[in-house]
Amino acid sequence: MPAIECRNLTKYYGDVRGVEDVSFAVEDGEVFGFLGPNGAGKTTAIRTLLGFLSPTSGGATLLGHDATDPVASRRARERVGFLPGDPGLDRDRTAGAFLDHQAALRGESSRDRLVDRFGLDESRRIGDLSRGNRQKVALVAAFMHDPDLLLLDEPTSGLDPLLQEEFAALVRERVDDGASVLLSSHVLGEVAALCDRVGVLREGHLVAVESVSDLRSRGGKQVRVRVAEDVARADFERRDVMNLRVGETVSFTWTGEYDALIDLLSGYSVLDLDVVDAPLEEAFMTFYDGDVPGPAGSGNGGRSAGTRVGDAPSNAAPADATADSGGGDR
Ligand SMILES: Nc1ncnc2c1ncn2[C@@H]1O[C@H](COP(=O)(O)OP(=O)(O)OP(=O)(O)O)[C@@H](O)[C@H]1O
């Protein structure tokens, strides 16, 4: 049984599309990443899966429970850890009081261990905590009942690099213990570091699903070269060259063999040469720009919004999305 199964899920807010015809599954023990720019529909998909929003059409199951049935959905949530993009925690409560409330709903088998690990002072008022520390409180709340499934919406926004590492370790530990994970991000690097597969959302549509290992093997090299002569642009306009820029230096993504690159450059006097792994973002978007393949598993035609994943940071989750908020449509 997949941990999440999403069938043609569509959610409109009145006339505004949240997500449309989204189908995918997160297999048991899998870490699946939703990638997409602001407004792509990541939060809508996650909140609909959690039963916080009712779908306009389509359906989903969470740990085998019907996400559109309030009773079944609540039962599923007892075994789910949810980290909202903007936890919107009650600033007047202490961290401890908030965690007590969460514990009453789902349990707290790992609370003390996590509080220690994150160096959290439970006696402090949430409003007095830094953003990073508030995020720690939300993380403890999401993980402290050792959930079977984690839904993590922009989990590392607001965390410093050290804490991001700690968070990644925590996710891996849960996965080693058999949990499944769906996490959303606008940063491919973050998704690629943690996930087995990545699904790209654009304008509400799931336009591609790709395994991270395939993505890496297709990555290519980013080449920057400065030569003594004037460059004939046509020399570089070839099938194994992408993202060509010709200026004082020539830069491009090389997808061919090294020998062919050396052949290409041998016609020039090379003054400076820099060859590094292409950023995964580039590999990803190179592949999916233009004619995007049809949405994986959903059967409808692909769409390309021309929006680059990773454009801007996002923290646009609703203020009511605390770990226990089961509130209705926003
Ligand atoms: N409560 C709402 N009422 C109306 N439209 C909404 C509401 N919430 C989201 N939307 C719209 O639905 C679309 C998808 O938004 P959503 O927040 O799901 O995207 P996202 O990928 O999570 O973006 P972000 O990274 O900025 O959080 C956007 O066009 C957004 O404006």
Same domain, 58 and 163: yes
> Which of 171, 165, 168 has its CA nearest to residue 149?
171
Query: Do 154 and 243 reside in the same domain of the chain?
Result: no
**Same structural domain for residues 61 and 202?**
yes
Query: Partners of 250 in the beta sheet?
Result: 225, 246
Q: What is the mean pLDDT of the segment spanning 304-327?
A: 33
Rounded to whole angstroms, the Cα distance separating 118 from 108 reads: 15
Closest atom of ligand 1 relative to the 13 alpha carbon: 4
Last residue of a domain, one of 162, 195, 215: 215
Same domain, 245 and 169: no
Q: Residues 209, 240: one domain?
A: no
Whether 302 shows a pLDDT value over 50: the answer reads no
Ligand 1, atom 3: closest residue by C-alpha:
13
d(CA 314, CA 99): 26
Q: Which residues pair with 254 in a beta bridge?
A: 221, 241
Looking at the structure, do residues 245 and 158 belong to the same domain, yes or no?
no
CA atoms within 13 A on the CB side of 151: 28
- Structural domain harbouring 195: 4-215
With the most atoms of ligand 1 within 8 angstroms of its CB, the residue from 10, 11, 15, 16 to mutate is 16
247-279: pLDDT as tens digits:
999 999 898 889 999 999 999 999 999 998 777
Q: Are residue 245 and residue 198 in the same domain, yes or no?
A: no
Together in a domain, 208 and 227: no
- Mean residue pLDDT of the chain comes to 84
Examine the domain organization and report whether 231 and 180 are in the same domain.
Answer: no
> Does residue 319 fall inside a structural domain?
no
Residue 80 lies in a domain: yes
Average pLDDT over residues 164-171: 92
Asked if the structure places residue 293 within a domain, the reply is no
| Domain boundary pick from 235, 260, 277 | 277
**DSSP conformation class of 89:** -
Q: Is 13 in the pocket of ligand 1 (CB under 6 A)?
A: yes
Mark whether 175 and 265 lie in a shared domain: no
Domain count across the chain: 2
Which pLDDT value is given to residue 281?
65
The 10s digit of each residue's pLDDT in 82-113 is: 999 887 788 899 999 999 999 999 999 999 99
Q: Which atom of ligand 1 is nearest to the CA of 44?
A: 18
Q: Is residue 40 included in any domain, yes or no? A: yes
Query: By alpha-carbon position, which residue is closest to atom 28 of ligand 1?
Result: 39
Q: Are strands 57-62 and 65-66 parallel, antiparallel or unpaired?
A: antiparallel
Are 238 and 191 part of one and the same domain? Answer: no
Task: List the residue whose alpha carbon is closest to atom 13 of ligand 1.
Answer: 18
Tokens of 181: 């994970």
Query: Both 151 and 84 in a single domain?
Result: yes
pLDDT band at 241 (very low <50, low <70, confident <90, very high): very high
Q: How many helices (H) and strands (E) does the chain have?
A: 11, 14
Percent of the chain clearing pLDDT 90 (strictly above): 61
In a domain, 180, yes or no: yes
Give residue 70 CA to ligand 1 midpoint distance, Å: 22
- Domain assignment present for residue 267? The answer is yes
Domain boundary, last residue among 277, 295, 316 = 277
Give yes or no for residue 36 CB within 6 A of ligand 1: yes
Mind listing the pLDDT tens digit for each residue in 66-81?
Answer: 999 999 999 999 999 9
Residue 306 included in any domain:
no
Distance 43 CA to ligand 1 centre (A): 7
Which residue has a Cα nearest atom 14 of ligand 1? 41
| pLDDT on residue 150 | 97
Does 301 fall in a domain? no
Q: How many angstroms separate the alpha carbon of residue 221 from the centre of ligand 1?
A: 35
Please state, for a pLDDT cut of 70, what percent of the chain lies above it: 83
- Give the CATH number for residue 225: 3.30.70
Of 128-132, 179-183, 262-266, least confident by mean pLDDT is 128-132
Question: According to the model, what pLDDT value does residue 124 have?
Answer: 95
